[in-house]
Amino acid sequence: MSIRTSVYLVGLIGASLVSAQTFQRLGTCPTLGCIFPPDQTDFLAGQLFDIRLEIHAPLNGTEASNNGVPNETFSLCIQRGKEACSDVTKYFKISNSALEKWSFSYYEDLFAKDSGTPVVVNVASKAYRALSLTKPGTYTAKLTYNGGTTTVANWLVREPVTSRRAKNVLLFIGDGMTQPMITAARLIAHKSINGKYQSLMQMDQMDNLGHQMTHSVDSFITDSANSATALYTGKKSSVNALGVYADSSKNSLDDPKVETLAELFRRRRDGGALGIVSTAFIADATPAALCSHTRDRSQYASIVTEFLNNATTVNSTLAWPTSCQMPDVLFGGGAEQFIAGSGSPGGADYYKAFQAKGYTVVNNNTALQAAGTKAKTLGIFSSKPAKWIDRHVLRDNLSGLKNSPIGDGSDATDQPGLKDMTLKAIDILQARTKNGQGWFMMSEAASIDKMMHVLDYDRALGELLELDDTIRASIAHLKAIGEYENTLIVVTADHGHGFDVFGGADTKYLAAQTDDRKKRGAVGTYAASGLSGYTVAEGSLPNNNTIVYGSEGPNFPVQWNPRYAFAAGFGANPDHRESYTLNTKGPRVPAVSSSSGYVVNPTDNTDGFNVPGTIGVDEAQGVHSLQDVSVFANGPGSEAFRGVYSSVDIFFKIADALGLAEA
Amino acid sequence: MSIRTSVYLVGLIGASLVSAQTFQRLGTCPTLGCIFPPDQTDFLAGQLFDIRLEIHAPLNGTEASNNGVPNETFSLCIQRGKEACSDVTKYFKISNSALEKWSFSYYEDLFAKDSGTPVVVNVASKAYRALSLTKPGTYTAKLTYNGGTTTVANWLVREPVTSRRAKNVLLFIGDGMTQPMITAARLIAHKSINGKYQSLMQMDQMDNLGHQMTHSVDSFITDSANSATALYTGKKSSVNALGVYADSSKNSLDDPKVETLAELFRRRRDGGALGIVSTAFIADATPAALCSHTRDRSQYASIVTEFLNNATTVNSTLAWPTSCQMPDVLFGGGAEQFIAGSGSPGGADYYKAFQAKGYTVVNNNTALQAAGTKAKTLGIFSSKPAKWIDRHVLRDNLSGLKNSPIGDGSDATDQPGLKDMTLKAIDILQARTKNGQGWFMMSEAASIDKMMHVLDYDRALGELLELDDTIRASIAHLKAIGEYENTLIVVTADHGHGFDVFGGADTKYLAAQTDDRKKRGAVGTYAASGLSGYTVAEGSLPNNNTIVYGSEGPNFPVQWNPRYAFAAGFGANPDHRESYTLNTKGPRVPAVSSSSGYVVNPTDNTDGFNVPGTIGVDEAQGVHSLQDVSVFANGPGSEAFRGVYSSVDIFFKIADALGLAEA
């Protein structure tokens, strides 16, 4: 009772409850009238977008309004600069839309959730599809409802850049990759003498450095779906949303869409080739966001359908006259969406569906390397992609996974790495581009994020070093084929994890202690952090787990499991146990489910000390963090990537380099 | 016994033990012959430095050598490029030095420490003082000992930049300030609407962005002494060392020195004014490293003596013909070194000592603002400087500290902030510079680090925001006095802490739960992180600790203790308890001593949940981390600060902007 009272008290002083809370009625909509695209949206001139309007009438709770009956006679007018405000139908010369109605519920706070007392919100809505604004300048979209209440969205159509500077764009995304991780990767893979590195990461040597702010439209921590949406569309969105703003309707495929870089490039550059490469499954958020439009990133079948067709195919009621037009290259994992079965669109064999539309399909690295460059190519190499360390250092871990991309229960032992996929993709895009329109490729090192989630620092850094090696090899390859000077190369991340190295751990001493507090004494800080144990061979050191590696040449550790390892961690953890040794059996599983939520995995790091978590016990993994991520760029247009800016600016900078705006 | 065996085994395969260990025989010296400056040292042409040679003969342990008798007939020759190698005395035209002998001991690893079995090392040594190299190019210093064994140091005298570009240099150091902290400060102090910030940090708006690698010469985690030495001398050094390389002798004041930026500026720019400002005590590492030369940063009395005099005064046996020549401005805390007593040099009244040499002395902000600009000015404002939050938001905490700078047991309630000190310092430096030589100032926000050490995130971010506000005000002031275009402004840090924000915390819900695992449910991640609660007023929200702040204007939080707070943390912690609320009584004390090491402070965050530590139980605080730190720069010469480089390059870039090299 006192809980409800306090909630009502909050309501009395206005909108403060919604300003920073755990649960929101609807992100991007602090008032009871909602406009998508919301206030503060920037557009590329000519970029397609949907408008969604919602009028909310909460039936109960601190914002209870009009007995839960939403106003149905709302209207939207659009105004450029100081011109008159015209009704949306007149402004865009479109007919009125049908009224839609639905309801949803949410909890106002954790107390309400515990007591099972949700707020019910009734909604009246309209949507207008596939619009665009071409004249640069400021716009006001004014929604009038409830007999005179207004909600205003200020939009900006940025001044179009008409001169194209880059023929090709190669966008590398290190998923979840932060500067502290890059620093740690440098530490383990590059030798230093008396504090001076003898070699550097390729990223360290890029011509231009920037930082981007990664937060969502409605939360300061983002996931990979909405951060990819920001990078590719220039619009901040909500957690789990791909190429749309998240509305409150039940249908996750009818949310207001925005046109992506890939769609714009295909629509505006006839003959431009498009490539999408990832070490994740190909329907995962970062590759998906280039071509997909859904509020729910887990709609994998829809996502694959949209790769092959377009948004209208997925939801035939919605006009969306732009698409990825079947990417020339699609390389990744995720056989589940292609093998006929419960994970594929309509249960069909989607390898065949792609072949029927002219794709060459390859399922292992040997076939990938042998494939020609003239056809569109789909490469799906596993159901669950292996990590760099397991592909290169601990190959025994490739056995028994039954992750064959053709679904025959065998192991995918011939998987290409990011470098293999990216270099081949360059060749295919080069061969397929027409009319001098060049190509656009996104290449993602996905498992930096996935391995940081499970606190598997070593595997995450292996993925990061593979990314760096891929950038290095791509630059060399572009130079060799004479395209380096024509190619804008951008390397960035979509969000962070709060990882950092804070010392060295004597793993032998740690394992030899029997008490957790004594084990912590193995962590050396400051001067006792010592030097990198990863860049020197320890040979026959009495450390059973010593793994000497060297066949990948420079830019990788000489060994991965030295006695003196780095000690690292996160502020945000599930319960786990820490020993700072390489997980030699495969990716780490830090926590397991129990009747009281996730607890330490009893088989993980059995020599280590317990570290109870700092986040909800319903979390099995670490979570994303706030920090700005780095941007590195070379090539034509790359000077624009200097300095500090929002994630959405990446879209505009790339679009400007390609001259994609309508002038 | 088995432990010793394993240690000996390590010895058999060479130098691997010393490559990454918790304890090192001597940092920078993996062989038994040591040269300081060590291999990989870069010099500014004409920069003064000492040479120290050591020959080690371990009596026992894995490197036991020559029955513990160090070779005394060692020699050093110096060679430029492919010229002949000349004996050091001939090369520099100096006489031979006297042989010195001493011994020291260390543990080879933690097992040896536990069993109390140190290695004893006997040493023979020579030193050559105050040398310099003026011809650019590569040099080889070859130490020959033990009848023919050689240790080689490769040195580089960088090509001198002869044209001076900056008249003034204003170097801001945010001690321990990382990009994740800057991101968090932006979150709490700058309002965003639908994911777009309506204002930005001043740092975000600087013209040039870079990253610097902070590690030490002999450990990958640094402290503030040796990182400041790197920034000011261009030489990586060891933990606790100021303006010297750490040798193994007992005397911490005889270690091999290197000339600092401040000394170079004074020696090479006659009439150039020098200012040192810090929110720490003025003998703390970051201000001290500009003028001091000691292996032990805790030699506070020596440090203050060196501010007023020079290194030769501190240790009269050592010629060191360069000094800070009494800085024109010295502003900070640390009354203990000035009030006659156990902390001051020789027990003397050092306020009087400074006055006797012509200094105006001020002890509070009123006197500071009233002071003229023509005299050298010493401002010591407390024995223990208060933090920004306590000076501005929670002023009750200024009472009862008995931290008066004059030592009368009263409270220092009129302390200037970083902005007050820095703006006044600019005016004094402007008034005192002669011959058109401009000025050099270092202004340090010291307590970002100090408050991150004690996990007091709010106070740390308050200090960071004060720094940003100071940079903003300094730019405005420089513009107002017509010096902005003449001034190189560099903002950076000396090292990191592995801090990051990972979500929002419903502090009210957290406090209301009685079980630690349930309390963790108050932490909202991803979408449930919500929005910044710090940029909106909650007014009469039923939160007893709500503090509404606004009188500092924009660029600071509207409130510091919202119900929906950010949740953050480190990978490296002592035992502590987390509630994500503002510590309203003063700086946080996370852990207290017990018979089993440091444990949770029972009076800290009593509503919170326990987070056992991840570092040694002898640590009462968090520790520094590895990550690269950001560099922001404006003004003449600032383009050089773009990209990724070593901390030592900051010295060279500033020296080049000032044209300090000998041509």
Q: A-B interface: how many C-beta pairs under 8 angstroms?
A: 425
pLDDT at A568: 80
Nearest-Cα distance to chain B for A407, in Å, is 34
Q: Write out residues 523-552 of B within 8 Å (CB-CB) of A.
A: 523-533, 536-542
Q: How far is B183 from chain A (nearest CA, A)?
A: 5
Query: Contact, A133 vs A139, CB < 8 A?
Result: yes
Q: Please tell me if the domain spanning A2-157 has the same topology as the one spanning A168-191+198-498+630-658.
A: no
Min distance B272 CA to chain A CA atoms (Å): 32
Cβ–Cβ below 8 Å for B525 and A612: no
CA atoms of A57 and A69, how far apart (whole Å): 6
Catalytic residue from among B224, B323, B443, B447: B224
Nearest CA in chain B to A2: B542
- Whether residues B503 and A615 touch (CB distance < 8 A) is answered with yes
Distance from CA of A181 to the nearest CA of B (A): 8
Instruction: Report residue A404: phi and psi, to 5°.
Output: -55, 140
What is residue B545's predicted lDDT score, i.e. its pLDDT? 42
Question: What percent of chain B is predicted at pLDDT more than 90?
Answer: 80
Q: What is the rounded distance in angstroms from the CA atom of residue B104 to the CA atom of residue B33?
A: 15
Per-residue pLDDT of B537-575, as tens digits, reads: 764 343 334 445 555 666 778 777 788 888 888 888 889
For residue A331, is pLDDT > 60? yes
The mean predicted confidence, pLDDT, of chain A is 91
Chain A residues within 8 A of B625 when measuring between CB atoms: 180, 500-502
Is residue A60's pLDDT more than 50? yes
| Segment A168-209, tens digit of pLDDT | 999 999 999 999 999 999 999 998 999 999 999 999 999 999
pLDDT of residue A550: 56
Q: How far is CA B92 from CA B78, B87, B245, B662, in A?
A: 9, 9, 20, 17
Tell me the nearest-neighbour CA distance from A80 into chain B, angstroms. Answer: 21
User: Residue A106, SS3?
Assistant: strand
The secondary structure of residue B63, as a DSSP letter, is T
A626/B16 touch (CB, cutoff 8 Å), yes or no: no
Q: Does A226 contact chain B (CB < 8 Å)?
A: no
Q: What is the mean pLDDT of residues B378-393?
A: 94
Residue B102 has pLDDT above 60, yes or no: yes
The residue-averaged pLDDT of B639-643 equals 97
Spatial separation of the C-alpha atoms in residues B516 and B519, rounded to whole Å: 5
Flag whether residue A108 sits within 8 Å of chain B, measured between CB atoms: no
Q: Do A21 and B564 make contact, defined as CB atoms within 8 angstroms?
A: yes
Give the pLDDT band (50/70/90) at residue A59.
very high
Cβ of B541 and A13 within 8 Å? yes
Contacts of A208 in chain B (CB under 8 A): 642
CATH-assigned architecture of domain A2-157: Sandwich (2.60)
Segment holding A49, helix H or strand E:
strand A49-58
Kindly state whether A1 is in contact with chain B, defined as any CB-CB distance less than 8 angstroms: no
Min Cα–Cα distance to chain A from B534, Å: 9
User: Residue B307 to residues A190, A254, B234, B282, B604: CA-CA distances in angstroms?
Assistant: 39, 70, 20, 10, 39
Q: Please give the residue of chain A at the shortest CA–CA distance from B42.
A: A196
Cα distance between residue B259 and residue B272, in whole Å:
17
- Taking the Cβ of residue A453 and every Cβ of chain B, the question of whether any pair is shorter than 8 Å is answered with no
pLDDT of residue A552: 62
Q: Which residues of B touch A16 (CB under 8 A)?
A: 536-539, 541
Contact call for residues A331 and A281 (beta carbons, < 8 A): no
Residue A551 pLDDT: 58
Contacts of A265 (CB under 8 A, 6+ apart): A272, A274, A440, A658, A660
E strand intervals along A325-372: 329-333, 360-362
Note whether A227 contacts B: Cβ–Cβ < 8 A.
Answer: no
The answer to whether A615 contacts B643, with C-beta atoms less than 8 Å apart, is no
For the CA atoms of chain B, what is the radius of gyration? 26
Q: Which of A221-230, B65-74, B509-518 has the lowest mean pLDDT?
A: B509-518
Minimal Cβ distance to B597: which of A22, A218, A517: A517
The 3-state DSSP class for residue B431 equals: helix
A37 prior amide bond cis, ω within 30: yes
Mean pLDDT along residues B74-93: 97
Mean pLDDT of B569-594: 88
* Pairwise CB contact (< 8 Å): B616 & A516: no
- Judged against a pLDDT cut of 80, whether residue A14 lies above it is answered with no
Q: Are residues A628 and B182, on separate chains, in Cβ contact within 8 Å? A: yes
Averaged pLDDT for residues B486-500: 97
Q: What is the mean pLDDT of chain B?
A: 91
Please tell me the class of the A168-191+198-498+630-658 domain.
alpha beta
How confident is the model over A69-85, as pLDDT tens digits?
A: 999 999 999 999 999 99
- Residues A546-561 have a mean pLDDT of 65
Q: How far is CA A296 from the centre of its chain?
A: 13
A204/B contact by beta carbon, under 8 A:
yes
- The shortest C-alpha distance from A592 to chain B (Å) reads 15
* B2 pLDDT higher than 90: no
pLDDT at B315: 66
Q: How many other CB atoms sit within 10 Å of the CB of residue A118?
A: 16
* CA atoms of B397 and A259, how far apart (whole Å): 54
- Percent of chain B with pLDDT strictly greater than 70: 93
Question: Is the confidence at residue B317, as pLDDT, over 70?
Answer: no
Confidence of residue A548 (pLDDT cuts 50, 70, 90): low
Q: Is A200 on the interface with B (CB under 8 A)?
A: yes
CB contact under 8 A, A213 and B183: yes
Q: Which of residues 5-24 of A touch B (CB under 8 A)?
A: 6, 9-10, 13, 16, 19-24
Instruction: Write out the E strands in A89-136.
Output: 100-106, 119-131
B605 Cβ contact partners less than 8 Å away, ≥ 6 residues apart: B576, B577, B578, B579, B581, B583
What lies within 8 Å, CB to CB, of B162 at 6+ separation is B659, B661, B663
Q: Which of A549-563, B46-60, B181-195, B364-378 has the lowest mean pLDDT?
A: A549-563
A501 vs B562: CB contact, 8 Å cut-off? no
Q: Which residue of B500, B530, B571 is in closest CB contact with A21?
A: B530
Nearest CA in chain A to B532: A20
Nearest to B525 among A179, A184, A221 (CB): A221
Q: Quote the pLDDT of residue B24.
A: 93
A502 contacts B570? CB cut-off 8 A? yes
Which pLDDT does position B548 carry in this prediction? 52
Cα–Cα dist B368/B362, whole Å: 6
Confirm whether residue B140 is marked as ligand binding: no
Query: Would you state the pLDDT for residue A555?
Result: 73
Check residue B533 and give its pLDDT.
85
Please, are residues A36 and A52 in contact by the beta-carbon 8 Å criterion?
Answer: yes
- The reported pLDDT for the residue numbered A314 is 67
Q: Touching check for B236 and chain A: CB below 8 Å?
A: yes
Please enumerate, by residue number, every residue of A annotated as part of a binding site for Mg(2+).
175, 284, 286, 444
pLDDT confidence tier of residue B10, bands split at 50, 70 and 90: very low
Distances (CA, A) of B479 to A371, B76, B374, B428, B498: 63, 52, 21, 16, 36
> Which chain A residues are within 8 Å of B520, Cβ to Cβ?
613-617
SS3 for A581-606 is: CCCCCCCCCCEECCCCCCEECCCCCC
- The 8-class DSSP code of residue B467 comes to H
Sort out which chain A residues have CB atoms less than 8 A from B6's CB and list them.
508, 542
Query: Radius of gyration over alpha carbons of chain A, in Å?
Result: 26
Mutant choice from B520, B577, B600 vs A, greatest count of A C-beta within 10 A: B520
B219 touches A at CB < 8 Å:
yes
Residue B224: active-site member: yes
* pLDDT at site B546: 46
CA distance A479 to A423: 12
Percent of chain A with pLDDT over 70: 93
User: Which residues between 284 and 323 in chain A have a beta carbon less than 8 angstroms from any beta carbon of chain B?
Assistant: none
Q: What is the pLDDT of residue B649?
A: 98
Segment A181-191, tens digit of pLDDT:
999 999 999 98
Which pLDDT score is estimated for B341?
96
Least reliable range by pLDDT among A307-321, B112-126, B335-349: A307-321
Q: What are the chain A neighbours of B627 within 8 Å (beta carbons)?
A: 178-180, 183-184, 500-501
Å between B290 CA and nearest CA of chain A: 21
Q: Is the interface score ipTM higher than 0.95?
A: no
CB contact under 8 A, B503 and A221: yes
Map out the domains of chain B as residue ranges. 2-157, 168-498+627-658, 509-611
- Residue A518 and residue A522: Cα distance in Å, rounded? 8
Q: Which residues of A351-366 are buried (b: 16+ CB within 10 A; e: fewer)?
A: bebbeeeebbbbbbbe
Interval B198-220 mean pLDDT: 96
Q: Do A569 and B498 touch (CB under 8 A)?
A: yes
pLDDT digit string (tens) for A254-296? 999 999 999 999 999 999 999 999 999 999 999 999 999 999 9
Q: Do A646 and B195 count as a contact with CB atoms less than 8 A apart?
A: yes
Q: Domain B168-498+627-658: which CATH class?
A: alpha beta
Judged against a pLDDT cut of 90, whether residue B447 lies above it is answered with yes
A125, A224, A249, A323: the catalytic one is A224
